[in-house]
Amino acid sequence: MGPPNRATDLLRLEEIAARLRIEIIEMLGKAGSGHPGGSLSVIDIVTCLYFSKMRHDPKRPEWPERDRFILSKGHAVPAQYAALAEAGYFPKQELGTLRKLGSRLQGHPVRNSVPGIEACTGSLGQGLSIAQGMAIASKLDGGKFHVYCVIGDGESQEGQIWEAAMSAPKYQVDTLTAILDYNHGQIDGYVDQVMPLEPVIDKWRAFNWNVLEIDGNQMAQISDALDQARNFKGKPTFIVAHTVKGKGVSFMENQIAWHGMAPNPEQTAKALAELRAAYQKRFGGTHGS
Ligand SMILES: Cc1ncc(C[n+]2csc(CCOP(=O)(O)OP(=O)(O)O)c2C)c(N)n1
Ligand SMILES: [Mg+2]
């Protein structure tokens, strides 16, 4: 069997993302707390990374040459847990323990507790600096692995983000790709109103990054941008990914209230019905009970 063609591969990734959206809502519904908006906006990017672009091996989570993924906006970790379980880092049944006392799956990523989690994040602003350190280590070692880091648009108000923005080009860290989940919402309002990021592309270009702009909920665009980023030499790449907060669940989309609120049982059922209907329409068959 040869390699899959592009259309087949994109469809495969879209199918995974559609399933992981369902699993995110199931997890949050059971947990009774958590962050649906930013998990649903980023899941297409996370899916493309784990199931197409990253060199990693769930059986060897500490393999030195693995690519690293740092979710700097750590509150969206249900998206990463769903991907890690799908990839085989831990059993899917464990997803149902999210945020429960004694569970490995805490509300924010914890390194050394969950295989596949590379850094403790959730205190916003720190992940890009951590990622840059790893990416420099890779570069010093001959560029054996690439580091991917997702930051939020609200998170971009943290000063430390701009310290990393300033220093990565100085060290020509081309083993680093940062992706901005530009979903326009933060914890208590719209980013444009709380602290505008614009002109975001000009800013990162001025800091001397290779900047790309995509629709971060379109698999083909995500895939192409990640390929370009990895192949670009001499500078780190910054991907401005326009996304929709709460993407896929109509009553959550672009609603600030759904930043950090879990759906109640009735809302969970409604969201799952929508996601399953969309899945069925697009891919046939059913997913989940
Ligand atoms: C240092 C720090 N300050 C405040 C918070 C509380 N907090 C959690 S999520 C959030 C908003 C983040 O917005 P954004 O980065 O846009 O996330 P997304 O929209 O992707 O969910 C804030 C302020 C935090 N986690 N860390
Ligand atoms: Mg946001």
Class for domain 6-283, per CATH?
alpha beta
Ligand 1, CB cutoff 6 Å, lining residues = 35, 37-38, 41, 73, 75-76, 122-125, 152-155, 181, 183, 185-187, 245, 259
For ligand 1, atom 10, the nearest C-alpha belongs to: 187
Distance between CA 131 and CA 127 in Å, rounded? Answer: 6
Cα 21-96-89 angle, rounded to 5 deg: 75
CA of 187 to the centre of ligand 2 (A): 8
Banded pLDDT at 286 (limits 50, 70, 90): confident
- Ligand 1: atom nearest CA of 183 is 19
Q: What is the pLDDT of residues 197-232, one digit of tens each?
A: 999 999 999 999 999 999 999 999 999 999 999 999
* Domain extent listing, the chain: 6-283
| pLDDT higher than threshold 60 for residue 289 | no
Q: Mean pLDDT, the chain, as a whole number? A: 97
Query: What local confidence, expressed as pLDDT, does residue 140 receive?
Result: 97
- Ligand 1: atom nearest CA of 259 is 21
Regarding pTM above 0.85, the answer is yes
Q: What is the pLDDT of residues 108-134, one digit of tens each?
A: 999 999 999 999 999 999 999 999 999
For ligand 1, atom 9, the nearest C-alpha belongs to: 187
CA of 74 to the centre of ligand 2 (A): 12
Tell me what the mean pLDDT of segment 60-87 comes to.
98
| pLDDT higher than threshold 90 for residue 18 | yes
Query: What local confidence, expressed as pLDDT, does residue 226 receive?
Result: 98
Banded pLDDT at 1 (limits 50, 70, 90): low
Unique residue bearing structure tokens 């109509």: 250
- Ligand 1: atom nearest CA of 42 is 20
Query: What local confidence, expressed as pLDDT, does residue 202 receive?
Result: 98
Query: Which tokens belong to 178?
Result: 């940062």
Query: What local confidence, expressed as pLDDT, does residue 288 receive?
Result: 58
| pLDDT higher than threshold 80 for residue 78 | yes
Q: Which residues contact 182 (CB under 8 A, 6 or more apart)?
A: 153, 197, 200, 216, 240, 241, 242, 243
For ligand 1, atom 20, the nearest C-alpha belongs to: 38
CA of 242 to the centre of ligand 1 (A): 17
For ligand 1, atom 25, the nearest C-alpha belongs to: 123
Q: Which residues contact 11 (CB under 8 A, 6 or more apart)?
A: none
CA 174, distance to chain mean position in Å, is 20
Return the best residue to mutate from 46, 153, 187 for the ligand 1 pocket (most ligand atoms within 8 A of CB).
187
Q: Tell me how crowded residue 231 is: count the other CB atoms within 10 A of its CB.
A: 9
| pLDDT higher than threshold 80 for residue 3 | no
Query: Which tokens belong to 161?
Result: 């983000």
CA of 182 to the centre of ligand 2 (A): 6
Q: What is the pLDDT of residues 248-282, one digit of tens each?
A: 999 999 999 999 999 999 999 999 999 999 999 99
